[in-house]
Structure 1
Amino acid sequence: MFNLDQAISAWRRQLAAGGIKTPEVLDELESHLRDDVEQQVRSGTSEEQAFNSATQQIGQTNVLKVEFNKVGLAKWWQLPIKLKGMLIRILGREQPFPFPDLNTFTPRGLQTLELAREEAPRLGHDFIGTEHVLLGLMKSEDGIVLKVLRKAGVDNSAIKAEIERFVGVGPVHEANMAIPYTPRARKALHLAAREANALNHVHISTGHIFLGLLLENEGVAGHVLRNLGVQTETTREAILKDLAGS
Structure 2
Amino acid sequence: MFERFTNRARQVVQRAVEEASGDGQRPVGTEHLLLAVLADEASLASRVLTEAGVTADDLRARIRRHTEAGGVGLGDADAAALREIGIDLAAIVARIEESFGPDALREAVPEPRRRWGRRRHTGGPFAPRSKKVLELSLREAIRLKHRHIGTEHILLGLLREGSGLAALVLTEAGADLDDLRRRVEVALRAAA
Same fold (TM over 0.5): yes
Is 2:168 the counterpart of 1:223?
Answer: yes
Is 2:83 the counterpart of 1:183?
Answer: no
Alignment partners' CA distance in 2, 1:150 and 1:239 = 12
CA RMSD of aligned residues (A): 1.8
Relative contact order, higher structure (CA 8 A, sep 6+): 2
Whether the 8 Å contact between 1:130 and 1:220 is mirrored in structure 2 is yes
Instruction: Give the one of 192, 205, 212 matched to 2:137.
Output: 192
1:108 maps to 8
Is 2:127 the counterpart of 1:127?
Answer: no
Is 2:36 the counterpart of 1:136?
Answer: yes
Q: Deviation at 1:243?
A: 1.7
Unaligned runs of 5+ in 2: 70-122
Runs of 4+ in structure 1 displaced over 3 angstroms? none
Q: Deviation at 1:212?
A: 0.3
2:180 maps to 235
Q: Deviation at 1:134?
A: 0.7
Q: Deviations over 1:138-194 (max 9, x none)?
A: 12243312222222222111111111121227xxxxxxxx95211111111111100
Whether the 8 Å contact between 2:41 and 2:47 is mirrored in structure 1 is no
Alignment partners' CA distance in 2, 1:198 and 1:163 = 30
2:66 maps to 166
Alignment partners' CA distance in 1, 2:35 and 2:54 = 13
Whether the 8 Å contact between 1:115 and 1:140 is mirrored in structure 2 is no
Alignment partners' CA distance in 2, 1:105 and 1:188 = 13
Q: Which protein has the larger Cα radius of gyration, Structure 1 or Structure 2?
A: 1
Q: Deviation at 1:242?
A: 1.3
Hey, which of these two has a bigger chunk of helix by percent?
1
Taking only the aligned residue pairs, the percentage that are identical comes to 38
Q: What's the TM-score once normalised by structure 1's chain length?
A: 0.54
Q: Paired residues, what number?
A: 139
